A and B are shown apart, each in its own frame.
Chain A
Amino acid sequence: SAKIVVHLHPASSNKEPGPFQSSKYSYIKLSFKEHGQIEFYRRLSEEITQRRWENLPAAQTMQVNKSPQAGRIRAVGIVGIERKLEEKRKETDKNISEAFEDLSKLMDKAKEMVELSKSIANKIKEKQGDITEDETVRFKSYLLSMGIANPVTRETYGSGTHYHMQLAKQLAGILQAPLEERGGIMSLTEVYCLVNRARGLELLSPEDLVNACKMLESLKLPLRLRVFDSGVMVIELQSHNEEEMVASALETVSEKGSLTADEFAKLVGMSVLLAKERLLLAEKMGHLCRDDSVEGLRFYPNLFMTQS
């Protein structure tokens, strides 16, 4: 990139203190990554020739100068900026300590809420049969609002609340088209990104998404959550049948002789993550064999099965 080097005269003895006491360099190097150097050089040369800063009367400097040295023009620029920053810092510090105080008080109240929820949870446990479904659901939504783990089941926060039910229904609507575009299956991380990018505000937490998806099947919605052996989680259309896709995957692999997950993904137009899961499933079902070496994981049609 283009560079301009500005060589500096040694500092004069009555120079005002600046941001640094001293420097081992006697020059400044300006680097222009894209462009602007020509115009900058022109203006810099002009200013250095004209030295307009030496003509500024003291009253026009950025900070009020307390020192009464007559005729001295205080070096404005960096020192002035530094002073402003210092003032701003002091004020921010004041705000922060107030904020921290308020925060502590808030946390004390929140702690009370946590204690309260524990005692309610205990009562629920004791009463067992005497608690209505409605009250349990309400309790769960209180926990959700506060971000407190369910003390009874210790399971993921606020699962099974009305909120998640609504969310599940919403998701079924939003994801229908994207799923169809992607062959009926998407990883949960893809869904997370898609949905949150579309929302812009009031985003879903990862836990919200998972909890909502867990309810898809029980709500008889046209999508379902599936967890592969590897732990990878996907959303599938109900109409999607991964086992059928395995049959077509086997055809593809047979045509090519053998394929890695990367190669398969490129051929079929899937994400590598899901391509790998499909091949693994095919292997689990006995249709493919693996060749595991440092060169990578490669799948072959399982001839042990077909050619016995």
Chain B
Amino acid sequence: QMSKQLDMFKTNLEEFASKHKQEIRKNPQFRVQFQDMCATIGVDPLASGKGFWSEMLGVGDFYYELGVQIIEVCLALKHRNGGLITLEELHQQVLKGRGKFAQDVSQDDLLRAIKKLKVLGNGFGIIPVGGTYLIQSVPAELNMDHTVILQLAEKKGYVTVGEIKSSLKWETERAKQVLEHLLKEGMAWLDTQAAGDPQYWLPALFTELYSQEITPEEAKEAIP
């Protein structure tokens, strides 16, 4: 009974693919629409490489390969940011790695690929901060307390115990525990030479807030 329906559907899908396969690969907007519609009706086109969607529309290969690229970028930068990276930086790095002839990849694409990677048990997670996302790629335990502090730090790239106490109304002990955990995991760096309270910086946020391409001459001028 079902196999007849299935064959019919397969034909429909083949027809669709012959007309619009390129659209899916080239148009990030179309991909979003496609994914959203699938989700609405309860279908996951990325569940398996053996699914019709993947085989005929080629959506699978696009996202699974993206997954590989995401894993590689995260691994390469882990020593610096402890396994936390902004979606923007991840996007930039992935685009760099893909080269100029590869298909365009949107941030939505990255998020969908990452959601699929979670099942591999490597601790992939998506943390919303200030309108964007931090991507976690290590199995460190980050609970709500940690997430809230990451969100607080997002504006300036760093946070102090004093700021945590005043904005979140936490006790010193709680703030310190959370910050120490982030330090241990390598996700935060401590600056004890700051004027005032010691500052806990998140390297994951560095490029977004502070990167500028400067020439060697400009660098020389900047040094007092």
Interface of A with B (CB < 8 Å)? 1, 95-96, 98-100, 102-104, 106-107, 109-114, 116-117, 120, 138-139, 142, 144-149, 156-158, 163, 187-189, 192-193, 196-197, 201-210, 227, 230-233, 272-273, 292-294, 296-297
Provide 8 A-B residue pairs closer than 8 Å at the C-beta atoms, listed in order of the A residue.
A98-B19, A99-B20, A99-B23, A112-B5, A142-B3, A147-B48, A196-B67, A202-B49
Which B residues are in CB contact (< 8 Å) with A208?
48-50
Known: A99-B30, A145-B52, A146-B43. A106 touches B121 (CB 8 A): no
B-side interface residues toward A, CB under 8 Å? 1-3, 5-6, 8-10, 12-13, 16, 19-20, 23, 27, 29-30, 33-34, 37-38, 40-55, 60-61, 64-65, 67-68, 71-72, 78, 116-123, 138-139, 180, 183-184, 190, 215
Chain B interface main SS type? helix
Contact partner of B30 (CB less than 8 A), chosen from A96, A142, A205, is: A96
When the two chains form their complex, are residues B23 and A96 in contact, meaning their CB atoms are under 8 A apart?
yes
Whether A294 contacts B44 by the Cβ 8 Å rule is no
The answer to whether B43 and A202 have CB atoms under 8 Å apart is no
Partner of B48, one of A104, A157, A187: A157
The reply to whether A232 and B12 form a contact with Cβ atoms under 8 Å apart is no
Instruction: Name which residue of chain A comes closest to B137, CB basis.
Output: A189
Chain A residues with Cβ under 8 A from B64's Cβ?
196, 203-206
Q: Shortest beta-carbon distance, A93 to chain B, in Å?
A: 11
A110 surroundings in chain B (CB, below 8 A): 9, 38, 41, 43
**Which residues of chain A have C-beta atoms less than 8 A from B53's C-beta?**
147
Q: Is the CB of B184 within 8 A of A144?
A: no
CB atoms of B12 and A203 under 8 A apart = no
Indicate whether A203 sits within 8 Å of B61 (C-beta atoms), given known contacts A157-B44, A189-B117: yes
Known: A206-B117, A230-B123. 13 other contacts (CB 8 A): A96-B23, A102-B20, A107-B41, A116-B5, A142-B3, A145-B52, A147-B43, A192-B67, A193-B72, A203-B61, A205-B47, A294-B180, A294-B190
A30-B201 Cα distance, complex, nearest whole Å: 35
Q: Inside 8 A of B60's CB, which chain A residues have their CB?
A: 203, 205
Collect the chain A residues with CB atoms within 8 Å of residue B37's CB: 103-104, 107
Please determine whether B122 and A232 come into contact, CB atoms closer than 8 angstroms: yes
Write the nearest CB–CB distance from A59 to chain B, whole angstroms. 35
Question: What's the dominant secondary structure at chain A's contact region?
Answer: helix
Which residues of chain B are within 8 angstroms of A196 by Cβ–Cβ distance? 64-65, 67-68
Q: Are B2 and A116 in contact (CB under 8 A)?
A: yes
What's the least CB distance linking B110 to chain A, in Å? 15
Q: Which residues of A contact B121 (CB under 8 A)?
A: 188-189, 227, 231-233
Measured between alpha carbons, how far is A102 from B46 in the docked complex, in Å? 20
Cβ of B68 and Cβ of A193 under 8 Å apart? Answer: yes
Does A146 contact B51, Cβ atoms closer than 8 Å?
yes
Q: Select which of A106, A145, A188, A273 is within 8 A of B6 by beta carbon.
A: A145
| B47-A157 in contact (CB<8A) | yes
Q: Which of A146, A197, A203 contacts B9 (CB 8 A)?
A: A146
Which of B47, B71, B139 has a CB less than 8 Å from the CB of A207? B47
Q: Separation in Å of the B89 CB from the closest CB of chain A?
A: 20
Contacts of A297 in B (CB 8 A): 184
Task: State in angstroms the CA–CA spacing of A300 and B78 once bound together.
Answer: 25
Closest CB-CB distance, B140 to chain A, in whole Å?
A: 9
Asked whether, in the complex, the Cβ of A103 is within 8 Å of the Cβ of B33, the reply is yes
A179 to B53 Cα, complex, angstroms = 32
Contacts of B46 in A (CB 8 A): 147, 205
CA distance A273 to B43 in the complex (A): 34
Contacts of A103 in B (CB 8 A): 16, 20, 30, 33-34, 37
Top 5 A-B residue pairs of the complex, sorted by shortest distance between their CB atoms: A233-B121, A203-B64, A157-B47, A111-B41, A189-B122
Q: Quick one: closest B residue to A163, CB to CB?
A: B50
**Chain A residues within 8 Å of B1, by CB:** 120
Known contacts: A99-B23, A188-B122, A193-B72. The answer to whether A147 contacts B215 by CB under 8 A is no
User: What is the distance, in angstroms, from B41's C-beta to the closest C-beta of chain A?
Assistant: 4
- Kindly list chain B residues whose C-beta atoms are within 8 Å of the C-beta of A112: 5
Identify which of B33, B44, B55, B78 contacts A100 (C-beta below 8 A).
Answer: B33
With a CB–CB cut-off of 8 A, which chain A residues contact B65?
Answer: 196, 203
Q: Once bound together, how far apart are the Cα atoms of A156 and B118, in whole Å? A: 13
Let me know if B48 and A230 touch, CB within 8 A. no
